Each structure stands twice: as structure tokens, then as C-alpha cells.
Amino acid sequence: MHVQDPEILFEDANYLVINKPAGLSVHADGRTKELTLADFVLMNFPKMAEVGEPWENPEGKVIPRPGIVHRLDRDTSGVMVLAKNQKTFEHLKAQFQNRETRKIYRAFVYRILKEKEGVIKKPIGKSRSDFRKWSAEFGARGVLREAVTEYTVLTEAKDGSASYLEVHPKTGRTHQIRVHLKSIGHSIVCDALYAPKGEKLLGFDRLALHAFSLSFSDINGNLLQFAAPLPEAFLHALRLLKAENTDFSNPC
């Protein structure tokens, strides 16, 4: 599948704000050769090459992460901020570590939620069944880390097959939203890792998770907020939700 380049939402001397498409990894893992967001940055913004902190994978290979302060999963789309110089990188890094940023996601999940808004407070550890997965359920192994996710139901499918949520992760654990929603019985639509037997609903053939908005403070303390427009897959799904007597499902 061809993955489009990220859309640049904003750029100045300190920040590069992009809309990452689904299917684009943020940086390499040292094992695959697919192009990444880091490659896009190095090709288009070579002065950012030395900004940030590289990462060493388990095999000991050093992976460049130019200007990358935070990440989104490969199959999650949406807004990200990158630092164009080291001072900005350190300032942003501190905000993410101190939970001073605000991230809002949109997601389609399976079935109707009984509680139309709520807070999921479940620590996250490693899954016992699959080394790729994390878990907020009984039996999670390793160090259990605090994780908090708030959600609000925005709309629902008339046939009860799916709900559309606004989600606010107050912590930043790996796969947090996917893991927390799975733990309450409402996995994200087309999540091949956490809901491999789920149906394709509302026309989705990608993970139905989008980083919609991101807020943070600049060096001078001014609040900055950026939003990534909903992808066409989300707009199509919302049109289907509004349509009457629509068959929403197709088996994966």
C-alpha cells in the first residue's frame, strides 16, 4: 500500500506540526526498510538531523529520530509536533513528560457503550500471550504503569454495531487508548492487533483511531493548539452513521 507524505499543518523556526497518515511509521525499528516520518524529515528538513535523541533498538542499532518528541502508532493518523532545534526539543520533551500537553483523539469502537462518558483508570503492563501487545487486564506481567484515559461518546450506529468517541489520554503509555478500550470490551474498529477477529465496520480497512488535536505551550508560555482534519475514512464512516437503514458490516 502506498502511503502518502505527511501534511504540514504549521511551520516556524521552532516547530514543525504535521498530520501523519495511517500506515506511516514514525521512525525505523532497524528490522524493516519501509520509509518513515524520520526519513521524510531528513529529506525535507536536513537541518533537523541532529535535533532530538536517537534510539537504540534491542539489537543495538542506533535509530535516528530527528526532532521527534512523541510518537503515534504506525496505523494511527493525526497531529504531531516536531522540534526544529534542541532548545525547543527539550522544552517540548519536558511538557510531555510532565503531562502538560493535551491530546484529543477520535475513534470508532465496537458496540454501544453503556456509560456515555467515563474515565478508565487501569495500569498497563505487558501481555502474557503476545510480546507485541500490552494489557490492562488481569494477568498483565512486568512493571504495571499508571494509565488514565477519558472518553465521551459523540454518536452511535443505529444498529448498535459501533460508537464514535472523543478520547483524551491523560498519560502516554504505549498503545494506551487501544489497550484501555479493549479492557472495557470496546476495541477500536479494525485493530488487527487487539481485535484480530473483529469485523470491518463503516467502510474501515485501517485502524479507526485519529489524533485530532494537540495543545502545548511555546517557549514564551503561550498556548498553541493544532488540529488535524479528519481523514476521508472517518468522514465516510460518519456519513454512514447518519444514513438510515445502512448495513455497516463486512467480515474482515
User: What gap in Å lies between CA 40 and CA 64, rounded to an integer?
Assistant: 12
Helix, strand, or coil here: 121? strand
| Chain centre to alpha carbon of residue 182 | 15
How far is Cα 153 from Cα 106, in angstroms, rounded to an integer? 10
Residues 83/52, Cβ–Cβ less than 8 Å: yes
- State the catalytic residue, choosing from 29, 73, 218, 247: 73
Q: How far apart are CA 143 and CA 158, in angstroms?
A: 41
* Grid coordinates given for 181: 478500550
Q: Quick check: is 73 catalytic?
A: yes
Q: How far apart are CA 182 and CA 159, in angstroms?
A: 20
Q: Among 226, 235, 228, 203, which residue's Cα sits nearest to residue 20?
A: 228
Residues carrying an active site annotation: 73
